Structure 1
Amino acid sequence: MDSVSNSVPPLNIEIVAERSSTSAWIQWLCRRLEQRAAGTTVRLQLVQGADQAAQPALESLLQLEKMVLRRHQPCLCDRIEPDALADWRTRSDNAAPDIVIDLTSNRSASPRSTRIYRPLFNGHAGEFGLASALFFEGTPHIEIECTLPSGERWIVADGFASLEAAAGIGGAMEAVWSRTAILLIKALPEEPRAPRIADNTAQPHARAITRKVVTVRSAKMLASAAARAAYRLCCHAPHWRIGWRRVTSDNDVWQRRDLGGTPWEVLADPIDHFYADPFPFRWQGKDYLFFEDLDQKTQKGIISVVEFDEQGRPGPAIPVLEESWHLSYPFLIEADGEIWMVPEASLSGEISIYRATRFPFGWEKHATLVSGIEAADATIIQHAGKFWMFAVTRDGIGGYSDTLCLWSAETLLGPWRPHAANPLVINDRSARPAGNMIWRDGKLLRPVQDCRNGYGAALSLAEVTRLDDERFDQVIVKHLSPGKHWPGRKLHTLNGNGYMEAIDGSIIRPKWSFAAGIVDSFYKPGA
C-alpha cells in the first residue's frame, strides 16, 4: 500500500464523512485510496451527521489517553480541522463517482447509480459506532457492506484487527481503521468473490459513552498503568519459556488435538533471558532445538541452539546467529542438499535466508527473498510443485498479527512472487503463523496464533483446504490454550520434527533468583 499500483484500474472515489468526526483517519484514508492505482481520484463531502459522534465524554477519554498512554504521540483518532482536508473537499469534478464510501453513522450517502461501501463494526457504523463497540464489546468484527444501485446489500469483505499494540480506545480505533482501509481497498476493484447478503434488519444501536463510564474507565486505566509499572519493576515482562518432549506422529499434538500425553519438559533458561519460538531439527540422527534467545537487558533477540545428546538430554544454549536488529522465529528447511534458516527480522525491512556453513553453529546470509516489507514469522511449504511462503505483514500502523500475505516461487531462492489475492486474511485469530506446516493423512495442516485476547495468547490448528495461485482457504479445526498440561499465561508456537515437538508460553518471572525459583514451581507442567 506504500506505492501506486498499476495492476488495478483507477477509480473516481467519493467519501462521505461527518463534519464532527474529522480526524486524522479521514486524511490518512484519502491518501491511501489515492495510492491504490495510478489515476485514482478522491473527493470528500462533509455532512452534518449525528451529534453523538462528538460526545464530550469520548473526547475527554481520548485526550486523557493521549497524555497517559501515548505520551502525545500522534494517532489516527486525533482531531484535525476541516481545513486540513481542503485538498479533497475543494475538488469540483462533476463526473459521477465510480464508488462512494460512506463513513457516517446514519447512512448519509444518498442513493445513486453506483455502489456505496460502508464499514460496519459489530453492525455499528461511523466513528462513534466504532468507539462504542470497542468500549463495550471488545475487538469488533469489521464488515464492508456494499449497497448496489438496486438497493441490495452485500457483505463483500470482513475481518478482525489485532489490538496487541493498541494504547487505549484511541489506539484500538487506529488499529481497526487501518485494517478497515485494507479491506475497503481489497473490496473495491471488482465483483466480490464470495459475498453474503447483509442483515437488512434495523442497525444495532451503539451504546452511549457517558461521562460516568468514562470516569470509571479512566480510573481503571490509571490504576492499570501504575500496576504495570510496578510489575515491570519486579518482574521480567514478558517471560517466555520453551517446552519439549519426545513424540511420534501417533501421539503428538496434531494427532491428539490437545497438549496432553507425554509430559512436557521445560528448557532451562537464565533468569534474565527468555526463550521462545522453538524449532526442532533432526540432522544425521541427532536432534537440535533452535529458538529465539532474548536478553531482557537489551530487549534484542538472537538465535541460539541446544544440542541433545545420545540420552536425549539438552546441552547448553549456544548463540548461532546475531544481527544488529532483533531476530526470532528461526524457521528451518532443507533443500538442494543444504540447510537453510529464514528468521524473523521485521526491523530489517526484508525477509532474508541464511545458509548453514557449519551446521548447527555457522550461518551466513545468502539472499533476500522479499524486500521493502515489515514481515514476521515467514513459514515455507512445498505444494503442487512450488514453494509457498506465508508471513504476516504490517505497514507501520496497527498490530503485528492480523494481516496474512503469501508468496510463491519455483525454487527456494526465488524469485518470490506475491499472491494475487494478498492480503489473504485480515484476522487476529487465524492469520499469524505459529510454526511449521505439516502434511498428515493427505491434508495440509497449519498452526496459527489466536491473538484475540492479546499477542500469543493461544493457538489454533487449521486445515488448508485450498492453496493455489488464485485462492487460499483454511478451516480452524481445534483451539488450544494453556492449561494443566502446559500451565502459564500464553501459548504461541508449535513445532515438531517427527521425533520431538516443542511449544512455548509465558509465565510470571521475578527478577530475583530466590523468588523466580518459587514462582517457577507453580508452573510445572502436569502439576
Structure 2
Amino acid sequence: MIIEFRCERDHARRWMHRQTLSIDGRDVPVQIALTATAEPRPAGLDALFELERVVLRKGRHSGADGLKIDPERTQARTGTADVVVDFTSAARDPNCSARLYLRPLFNGTAGENAALAAILAGDLPVIEIVNEVDGAVLDRGHPSAEIAAGLSGGLETIMARTLTMVAAILSGRPRIVPQLARQARAGNGRRPAAYVVRGLAVSIAKEIYRLCCYAPHWHVGWRFNDGAGVWQTGDLSGPGWNVLADPGNHFYADPFPITWQGRTFVYFEDLDHRVGKGIISAVEFGDAGPVGEVVPVLEEPWHLSYPFLIEDNGELWMIPESSLHGDVALYKCIRFPDKWERHATLLSGLELADVTITQHNGLNYLFGAWRDGTGGYSDSLAIYYAEHLLGPWLPHASNPVLIDRASARPAGNFVTIDGKLWRPVQDCADGYGAALGLAEVIELSPTTFKQVVRHSLRPGPAWPGRKLHTLNRCGRLEVIDGSRVQPKTRAFASKFPSVVLSPRTSPHTAC
C-alpha cells in the first residue's frame, strides 16, 4: 500500500516530513505530493510561529514549523497511490484512481485555514475523516490540548491526532464513529498576532506563578456518606467534603479506597514537587477519618500514579499508572497495606495511562488513556480484554475506540447500578483534569463499545478549587480530588490543615 499526503507547496510543515506512516507497528510508505496553494494564510503567520518557537518552546521545533522542500516535489502525482489523504481545501482531482480518498475536516471544513480558524476562535476543532469517494464519515474525534502551547502548538496537536485517526482507518479495523460528549466551542476569532501575543503573556504569567507556587497542586477530598452518593445524585451535594492534610511540598491525587483484612486504606499518588516524580502512598481510615500518618507503599525509578486496585482469586492487586515506562504492570500485595511486589507485565511497548479494569459478561475489560507518542495525553481510549486477570490481553477490534477529550480518559472505578455499567471519565475540554463525567456504558464487547455521558461534575461551592478528576467509593467512604493554589514558602512552614466543606445542594447537570 502506498499512501499519498497532499499538502500545499507554499505551506509545508515539519509534520509532513515523513517517509512512512506507522500502522499497527508496520511502517507503510508515504509520498508527499505538494500542490498549488488553494487559499492564502493570515499575513505574518510564519513569523508568529517562529516567535512562539523561540519564546514558548525555548527554541524547540514543532510539527507546525515551516519546512524547506525539495523543488522536484511540486506537483501532485496521480494514479500511483492506493490511498490519498488530502490536507488541502482544493477539489478532488477527478483523474485520481486511488481506492480511498480521505479528507480531514476541521469543524466541518477542509484545509489548514479551517484548523487555524478554530484555534483563533478559542478551541481545538472536532476532526472528521471523510472518504470523498462515497462521502462517508469514517471517523470523528476531538483532541485534548495538553501540548497545544500557542497557535503553532494547537495546529501541531490537531495534525497529530488527525494522523492517529488516518492510521486507525488504514489499519482495516472497523471504526466506531462516536457522538462526542461535547462539541467545539464557537467564539469570536482573534487576529493571529493578538492571539500569539496573549498566549505569550499567559505563558509568562504561568512562569511567574510557578516561581511562587507549586503547580499543579492536587489534594484529596473525602467524606462519609450513609445516603445517596455522587453516583446516585449526579452531583457533589450531600455531606461536606474534607481535605486530606498534606505537607504542602507534596501533592496527593488519584485516590482509591479499599477495605481489606478488616482495615480500610486510601491509596493515592504522592508527588514530591522538589523531585517531580510520583510514588504510591496510603493512609488508614477509621470511623472518624484518617488514622495515623501517610505511608509510602510503592516506588519505582519511574513515575507512578493512579493506583487502581482489584481483588482476584483471594489476592489483592494493584496496577499503578506507569505509562512513561511503556508498560502496564501488575503488583501483588505481599503484606497489607505496605508491601507490594511486581508480579507480571500485562501489556508492554505502549503508552497507556490510568488503567481501569471491569468484569462484564464473563470477560475482563481493561480501559486506558492511549497515546501513540504525540498529541494530547487524554483524548484516546483503548480497550483490551481477557478471560483472566493475568491475561493474555487482546486488543479491542476498534482500538482506539474513542478519541474525545471530554469522555475518553478513565477517572476511577466502574460501578454497576440497577444492572447498568457506568464509568467515571475525565472531561478535559477545559484543560487536563478540569471536570468529571458520569458515563453509562451502553455496549461493551470485544468488537463493540458505546457510552453516553449522563452527568457532568465540576468544582463549585460544594468542592471549591479548579479541578476534579477522580471519583471512587468504598462502603460509606467517598473520595475525589482537586487542585488549589499552594505557595512554596508556606509548604515548609506548616502542614495544610484538613478542611471540612459545608453541605450544599446543586442541581443535576445533564451533558
Matches within 5 A, 1:9-28: 11-28=1-18
Matched, 1:133 2:123: no
Matched position secondary structure for 2:286: coil
The worse-fitting range, judged by mean Cα deviation, of 479-488 and 410-419 is 410-419
SS at structure 2 position matched to 1:83: coil
Match of 1:181 in 2: 163
**Structure 2 residue aligned with 1:452:** 429
Post-superposition offset of 1:187: 2.5
In structure 2, what is the equivalent of residue 216 of structure 1? Answer: 194
CA distance in 2, matches of 1:235, 1:193: 44
State the identity %. Answer: 45
Q: How does 1:240-251 map to 2 (within 5 A)?
A: 240-248=218-226, 250-251=227-228
Q: Deviations over 1:424-454 (max 9, x none)?
A: 1111111100000111110110000000110
Contact 2:379 2:408 in 1 (8 A): yes
Per-residue Cα deviation, 1:443-491 (whole angstroms, up to 9, x for no partner) = 1100000001100000000011111111111111101000111110000
Separation (CA, whole Å) in 2 of partners of 1:434 and 1:78: 35
- The structure, 1 or 2, with the larger RCO (C-alpha pairs under 8 Å, 6+ apart) is 2
Q: Which amino acid aligns with 2:162?
A: T
Change (3 A) 1:253 1:372: same
The alpha carbon displacement at 1:217 in A equals: 2.7
Is the Cα contact below 8 Å between 1:378 and 1:389 reproduced in 2?
A: yes
Where does residue 470 of structure 1 map in the other structure?
A: 447
The Cα shift of 1:318 comes to 0.5
Distance 1:71 1:523, change over 3 A: farther
Aligned counterpart for 2:348 among listed residues 356, 371, 374: 371
Q: Which whole-Å CA distance do the structure 2 matches of 1:39 and 1:489 have between them?
A: 42
The 8 Å contact of residues 20 and 29 in structure 2, kept in 1 or not, is answered as no
1:164 maps to: 146
User: Is the Cα contact below 8 Å between 1:241 and 1:505 reproduced in 2?
Assistant: yes
Give, in whole Å, the separation in 1 of the partners of 2:59 and 2:131. Answer: 36
Q: Is the 8 A contact 1:409 1:415 kept in 2?
A: yes
CA contact (8 A) 2:248 2:491 kept: no
2:67 aligned residue:
80
Which amino acid in structure 2 is aligned with residue 482 of structure 1? P
TM-score by length of 1: 0.87
Quickly say closer, same or farther: Cα 1:37–1:334, change in 2 above 3 A: closer
Alpha-carbon distance, 1:99 to partner: 2.8
Change (3 A) 1:207 1:13: farther
1:410 lines up with 2:395 in the alignment:
no
- Which runs of no fewer than 5 residues in structure 2 stay unpaired? 179-186, 505-511
Distance 1:261 1:253, change over 3 A: same
Using the TM superposition, give the Cα deviation of residue 108 of structure 1 relative to its aligned residue in structure 2, in angstroms. Answer: 4.9
The answer as to whether partners of 2:33 and 2:76 remain within 8 angstroms in 1 is no
Describe the shift of the 1:502–1:191 C-alpha distance in structure 2 as closer, same or farther (beyond 3 A): closer
Shift in CA distance, 446/195, structure 1 to aligned 2, threshold 3 Å: closer
Match of 1:4 in 2: none
Indicate conservation of the 8 Å contact 1:309/1:315, yes or no: no
User: Is the CA contact 1:20–1:51 (under 8 Å) kept in the aligned structure 2?
Assistant: no
Partners of 1:49 and 1:108 within 8 A in 2: no
Aligned residues: 495
Report if the CA contact (8 A) 2:328-2:345 is conserved.
yes
Residues 1:230 and 2:208 are matched in the alignment: yes
**1:124 corresponds to 2:109:** yes
| Contact 1:77–1:173 (CA under 8 A) maintained in structure 2 | yes
Task: Assess, with a 3 A threshold, how the Cα gap between structure 1 residues 370 and 274 changes in structure 2: closer, same or farther.
Answer: same
Counterpart for residue 67 of structure 1? 54
Q: Deviations over 1:33-64 (max 9, x none)?
A: 6x4586954333211122413x4322122111
Per the TM alignment, residue 31 of structure 1 is displaced from its structure 2 partner at its CA by: 1.9
Secondary structure in 2 aligned to 1:297? coil
Over the aligned positions, Cα root-mean-square deviation in angstroms equals: 2.8
CA 1:193–1:269: 2 relative to 1, 3 Å: closer
TM-score by length of 2: 0.90
Partner of 1:3: none
* Deviation by residue 1:135-173 (Cα, 9 ceiling, x = unmatched): 12412111112212xxx4222211111111222111121
Letter in 2 for 1:240: W
**What amino acid maps onto 1:265 in structure 2?**
N
Instruction: Provide Cα deviations, 1:77-102, integer angstroms capped at 9, x if missing partner.
Output: 1111222996xx8997x755333211
Alpha-carbon distance in structure 1 between the residues aligned to 2:329 and 2:44 = 48
Shifted more, 294-303 versus 39-48: the winner is 39-48
C-alpha distance in 2 between matches for 1:37 and 1:455: 28
Query: What secondary structure, in the 3-state scheme, does the structure 1 residue paired with 2:468 have?
Result: coil
Once the two structures are superposed, what CA deviation does each residue of 1:357-385 show, in whole Å capped at 9, x if it has no partner? 00111101001110111111000111111
Is 2:473 aligned against 1:496? yes
Superposition pairs for residues 392-403 of structure 1, below 5 Å? 392-403=369-380
Q: Which amino acid aligns with 1:343?
A: P
Give the superposition deviation at 1:506: 0.5
Would you say the 8 A contact 1:509–1:519 is kept in 2? no
Task: Tell whether the 8 Å contact from 2:353 to 2:369 is kept in structure 1 after alignment.
Answer: yes
Change (3 A) 1:18 1:516: farther
Q: Distance in 2 between matches of 1:76 and 1:47?
A: 19
Task: Name the residue aligned to 1:200.
Answer: none
Q: Counterpart in 1 of 2:21?
A: 32
Provide Cα deviations, 1:188-232, integer angstroms capped at 9, x if missing partner: 455976779xxxxxxxxx9997xxx33323432332222112211
Unpaired runs of at least 5, structure 1: 1-10, 197-205
Aligned amino acid, residue 185 of structure 1: A
Q: Secondary structure at the match of 1:144?
A: strand
